[in-house]
A and B are shown apart, each in its own frame.
Chain A
Amino acid sequence: MSSQPERSANHLTLALPKGRILEDAISLLSRAGLPITMPEASRALRHEFPGVTVLELRNQDVPVYVDLGVADAGIVGKDVLIESGRAVYEPVDLRFAPCHLSLIREVGASGPIHRVGTKYPHVARQYLAEKGIPAEIVKLNGNIELATLTGLADAVIDLVQTGGTLRANNLQEVDVLFYSSARLIVNRAALKLRRERLRPLIARLRELVREES
């Protein structure tokens, strides 16, 4: 059924997002005692370490791999986790990659919102429903700010890190939906079945986060 090699009962499979978070994630996990290092730049997507396999994924795919149990645990932004709607455990806030998800409009815009552009359609739908804003949602995949500037949408819901992009494009945050940061997520069955490895890892990560903040 699966092409995975035979592994010991305590083997851990981790889902990590490629890109900026990967380096922070690997550094934190290795300080927490896992024998993993930053993989050499290569085309490999699956990296084997003693007792640990690291899967390098698009960040939206991390909750999928963990929820469906292919990975035992993973690291992903809270924003991606909420959008995924996946029922996984999220025992540790790792505090890095901080950002927030905001409703953004052009400076001075005050008219009604008919259409909202976003990479986060589920979050957007829930937010707009709670606020009673009967707007249409357009799912976009990048450079979300352009949607307001070009008139594709009256507002966008997007991540804000430093606010630099907003200032450069004459945009402002109208409302903050929630604050996000990287989270350790764990498959519900794996936490119980591999608790001898995962419980100490969780405890060590909590200590590290506390020491470093």
Chain B
Amino acid sequence: MLGVSSVPATISPSAPLLPDGTRDVLPDEWSQREYVRWSLSELFRAWGYQGVELPALEYASAAHPLDSRAFKLIDTGGQVLALRSEFTTALGRLVATRYPAGPFPLRLQYGGQLWLRAQTSELGRLREFTQVGAELIGVATVQSDIELLALARAALDRVGVKADLEVGFPGFVDAVLEDAGLSGAARDALHDAIDRKSGADIDLAATTYGLSSEVTGVLHRLTDLYGGNEVLDEAGRMAQGTRARAAVSHLRAVAQGGDLTLLFDLGVSRRYGYYTGMTFRAYVDGLNQPVLGGGRYQLANGLPGAGFAMGLERLVRALPPGLPPHPETVLALDLPALHAAQQAGLRAELAWTDNRLELKTYSALRGIRRWVQGRELTEVQA
């Protein structure tokens, strides 16, 4: 067989070098990651979002939304610690303790690694991953929702990632279910079926809970509420009660005020108990995966907040080719040449020996085409 080694690969019985779901980042990818991180933090700063760092170690708490999937450690005093598994909860703690009196709105940005002991399904899926994000805390207005959507759009544009922004409103599904007279287990089962757009499971729940054909028809229509602005008109026709109508008119105001091209999916109902307003995600064409997700929630101390996080690993995969730009690397034969080359915008490595043959071999291996010498940046034979 062509290209296949005839020597069988041996599977070493010793322990693997790295724990499952962790990996090394090598220079090419590192420079892409740094470029994305730096571009986004600069952008967020330009919009007035101040940076904070949060500890990677937290006290474990059953109230934490990802508690069951977080890595746990035992502290010297016997307390159970958890490795940070998402940023919003930690940021809520920071706001409650460091900024109890504001001033609000408070605009904060963060970035760093997160860890999950159990990923949903994939063996070998990363269990250590990186997010950057921004949160706007203390206000819950149409303008603040628009700001976050506009910031999300600007962030995607800044790193050249072509993506569609889609807005949902889990409370709308809940309100429609409430208006249909559903509660308890039936409402929970239907939230799940609607979020999966599973017509079959809606019918199954309709049989189990004895729902009228009229109610069942409404539930099926919820699964078709995705697309452009026309979705809001259809949702407006479906909205009966105050909550449902308020949700639609809020989204209308966001859509009209923002001058943004948005998609809507009013059948989204994942974590409807957590999100108190709109949710949004960005889908990259070609990747078929979201690269950004966020929404409006309430902090433990009752303050309203909203924000979004972007997955660095996925963003790097969606980065257009040629980013970040790579200046040429040259070999500087002396220190003045190193400084001169750097001032000229080049990257320069300093020669460590006078042995030209050794430098030649190294340059070939590193793909270095030019050597420079002296204060005046004289090119010499490589």
B120 at the A interface (CB under 8 A) = yes
Whether A51 sits at the interface, judged by CB under 8 Å, is: no
Instruction: Check A192 against B226 for contact (C-beta < 8 Å).
Output: yes
Q: Is the CB of A85 within 8 A of B120?
A: yes
Asked if residues A193 and B197 are in contact (CB atoms below 8 Å), the reply is no
B199 within 8 A of A: yes
Q: Does B279 contact A (CB under 8 A)?
A: no
Q: Are B289 and A189 in contact (CB under 8 A)?
A: yes
Q: How far is the CA of A98 from the CA of B137 in the complex (A)?
A: 51
A123 at the interface (CB under 8 A from B): no
Whether A90 pairs with B200 at a CB distance below 8 angstroms is yes
Tell me which residues across on chain A come within 8 A of B263, comparing CB atoms.
192
- Taken together as a complex, chains A and B put the C-alpha atoms of A196 and B203 apart, in Å, by 26
Contact size class for A?
Answer: 20 to 34
Cβ-closest chain B residue relative to A66: B288
Q: A193 touches which one: B196, B198, B288, B317 (CB < 8 A)? A: B288
Tell me the bound Cα distance from A1 to B318 in angstroms.
Answer: 11
A1 touches B317 (CB 8 A): yes
Q: Is the CB of B288 within 8 A of A93?
A: no
CB-defined contacts of B290 to chain A, threshold 8 Å: 188-189
Q: Does A89 contact B (CB under 8 A)?
A: yes
In the complex, the answer to whether B289 meets A85 with C-beta atoms within 8 Å is no
Cα–Cα distance between A137 and B278 once the two chains are bound (Å): 42
B85 within 8 A of A: no
Is there contact, CB below 8 Å, between B197 and A90? Answer: yes
B199 to A92, Cβ gap below 8 A?
yes
Q: Mark B169-203, 1 if CB is under 8 A from A, else 0.
A: 00000000000000000000000000011111101
Given the interface contacts A91-B197, A189-B290, does A67 sit within 8 Å of B283 by beta carbon?
no
A187 and B289 CA atoms in complex are apart in Å by 9
Q: Are B285 and A9 in contact (CB under 8 A)?
A: yes
Is A89's CB under 8 angstroms from B197's CB?
A: yes
In chain B, positions 201-237 with a C-beta closer than 8 Å to chain A are 201, 203, 223, 226-227
Give which listed residue, A69, A89, A195, contacts B196 with CB less than 8 A. A89
Say if the beta carbon of B287 comes within 8 Å of chain A: yes
Q: Is the CB of A191 within 8 A of B226?
A: yes
CA–CA, A88 to B120, complex, Å? 13
The answer to whether A190 and B196 touch across the interface, beta carbons within 8 angstroms, is no
A90 contacts which chain B residues (CB < 8 A)? Answer: 196-201
Q: Report which B residues bind A (CB closer than 8 A).
A: 120-121, 164, 166, 196-201, 203, 223, 226-227, 263, 265, 283-285, 287-290, 317
Write 13 A-B pairs (CB below 8 A) sorted by A numbering. Answer: A68-B288, A85-B120, A86-B121, A87-B196, A90-B201, A91-B199, A181-B200, A188-B290, A189-B283, A190-B288, A191-B226, A193-B283, A199-B227
Apart from A1-B317, A85-B120, A191-B226, list 10 A-B contacts with CB within 8 A.
A67-B121, A68-B288, A86-B121, A87-B196, A91-B197, A92-B199, A93-B199, A192-B164, A192-B166, A206-B199
Nearest first, the 8 closest Cβ-Cβ pairs linking A and B are A69-B288, A93-B200, A189-B283, A89-B197, A189-B288, A90-B198, A91-B197, A187-B288
